[in-house]
Amino acid sequence: MSLGTTLKQVRQQQGHSQKDVAAGICAQSMLSAIENDHYTPNARLLLALCQRLAISLDEISLANDFAISGDDTLNAHMQQLCDQHRYQALNAFLQLPSTLAAVTTDQQTQAYYYYLGVAQIHLAEHRGEAEQNLRFATNLGTDKIPTTLTRLALASLATVKAQQHHDHDAIRLVTAALTGLTAITYEENTNIIFYLAALTAYFLHDGQLATQRLLTGIAYITDHNSHYMLANSYRLLAEIAEQAGRANEAQVAQQKQQFLTDLFHEKVPDQF
């Protein structure tokens, strides 16, 4: 469920009008735009609206996962497993016969193999399968201009290749993921691509390029009034600075990451 849909649904369940909820926070027209997913609120505005409606930020997921079926319940369960980073459970869930039977369209098939590959990246015993499934997901992207989902699959596969020390393949894949990215219609999931591109550079031992990509990504995210992936971006910035012996930079990045994690409950990795 999108951010706007969540806010609208809770508001209506509580019997409030848009005018009542917006009073003292923002214009009613802005709330309407948010509820219809035409505008993404910044952190301060989102927090104020959540407090007005007594919604925990734990209930808000700004990045909409791609549907793997026409079954909303099945999609919601997959999203929950993704949000909680329960990759073993996600891998098992995606391979259930009932899940496979629900995947019917080409776009759902691409999303299915993308999520299966992402789950398996985090499971040491399945990393070989992860590469195969992510490659399949990239091959299913047939649009002339790569979609966000295709770019995510490309960038995820790039991290796998970088860890395998296949530098040329990793650079080729991440270049394909980034080319023209800022020209496509913005959606929250594009934030992930900058992070994955930075992670690829980090795995290729190019801290300078990784830092540049993270800073570009942070600017991109904030320019779109988003916060999704900021905590993860600062976590990786801190790691790079610490490894380079830049203790002050590492401390600043860690403080920003912790603030964002505390505020938005965005999970970050313990290690890379």
Q: Which residue has the higher pLDDT, 60 or 246?
A: 246
Could you tell me if residue 114 is inside a domain? no
Single out the residue in 44, 59, 74 at which a domain terminates.
59
Could you tell me if residue 51 is inside a domain? yes
Global confidence as pTM: 0.78
pLDDT tens readout for residues 179-198: 999 888 888 899 999 999 99
CB 145 within 8 A of CB 157: no
Could you tell me if residue 266 is inside a domain? yes
pLDDT tens readout for residues 33-50: 988 878 877 767 887 888
Could you tell me if residue 171 is inside a domain? no
With 70 as the cut, is the pLDDT of residue 63 above it? Answer: no
Structure-token pair, residue 268: 């970050």
Ramachandran quadrant class, 9 (left: phi over 0; alpha: psi -120 to 50; beta: rest): alpha
pLDDT tens readout for residues 205-251: 999 999 999 999 999 999 888 888 999 999 999 999 999 999 999 99
Distance CA 37, CA 101 (A): 31
Query: Helix (H) and strand (E) counts for the chain?
Result: 15, 0
Could you tell me if residue 235 is inside a domain? yes
Could you tell me if residue 42 is inside a domain? yes
Mean pLDDT of the region 16-39: 91
How many residues are recorded in the chain?
Answer: 272
132-141's contacts with Cβ under 8 Å and 24+ in sequence apart are: 134/160, 137/110, 137/111, 137/113, 138/173, 140/106, 140/109, 140/110, 140/113, 141/110
The count of structural domains within the chain is: 2
Single out the residue in 59, 83, 98 at which a domain terminates.
59
Single out the residue in 59, 82, 107 at which a domain terminates.
59
- In the block, tokens 């497993």 appear at 81
Mean pLDDT of the region 198-205: 98
Distance CA 160, CA 162 (A): 5
Domain of 41 in residue numbering reads as: 3-59
Chain mean pLDDT for the chain: 90
Q: What Cα–Cα distance (Å) separates residue 207 from each residue in 200, 226, 241?
A: 10, 25, 8
CATH code at 13? 1.10.260.40
Could you tell me if residue 106 is inside a domain? no
Half-sphere exposure of 270 (CA within 13 A, CB side): 2
Could you tell me if residue 260 is inside a domain? yes
